[in-house]
Amino acid sequence: MIEPVALKDFFVTFYSSALIIMAGASYALLFTWSKVNSRLIIKLSAYLSYLILLVSVYQLTLAANLVGYWQIISYLMVVGYFFAPMAIWHLCKKTHDDPILTTTTLENENE
């Protein structure tokens, strides 16, 4: 039977997977917080979280023997995750800053 993850790499796989979840959530949270409260330390913390995410994905691909297409998919996902919070932020900003929606809502509330 072929083991996708060697028993000696089980804990590395487990902890790098958990770190991917924590670093990804931390990056999204800190990136959004840096947009709301524009302080440099928050933005640097977000990018540090993303760096931890990159290292964790790399370590997981080594420990889980992800080669070929799986390795490419893993790296494409982590690159996409860098831009996802930015896109979501811009989408929310444009949705909530639309002057037509704001004036229409205010006119409906005054009636």
pLDDT for residue 95: 82
Give the SS3 label for residue 111: coil
Asked, for residue 44, whether it belongs to a domain, the answer is: yes
Q: pLDDT band for position 102 (50/70/90)?
A: low
Asked, for residue 88, whether it belongs to a domain, the answer is: no
Rounded CA-CA distance 71/87 in Å is: 24
pLDDT at 22 over 70: yes
pLDDT for residue 64: 85
Token pair 């487990």 in the structure block, residue: 14
Total of domains in the chain: 1
Range of the domain at 23: 7-83
In tens, the pLDDT along 43-100 reads 999 999 999 999 999 999 988 888 888 889 999 999 999 999 989 888 888 887 766 6
pLDDT at 107 over 70: no
Rounded CA-CA distance 34/85 in Å is: 11
Listed in sequence order, the DSSP H helices in the chain are 10-36, 40-63, 69-96, 99-110
**Concatenated DSSP letters of 16-40:** HHHHHHHHHHHHHHHHHHHHHS--H
Asked, for residue 36, whether it belongs to a domain, the answer is: yes
pLDDT for residue 103: 56
In tens, the pLDDT along 68-83 reads 888 899 999 999 999 9
Token pair 């964790």 in the structure block, residue: 56
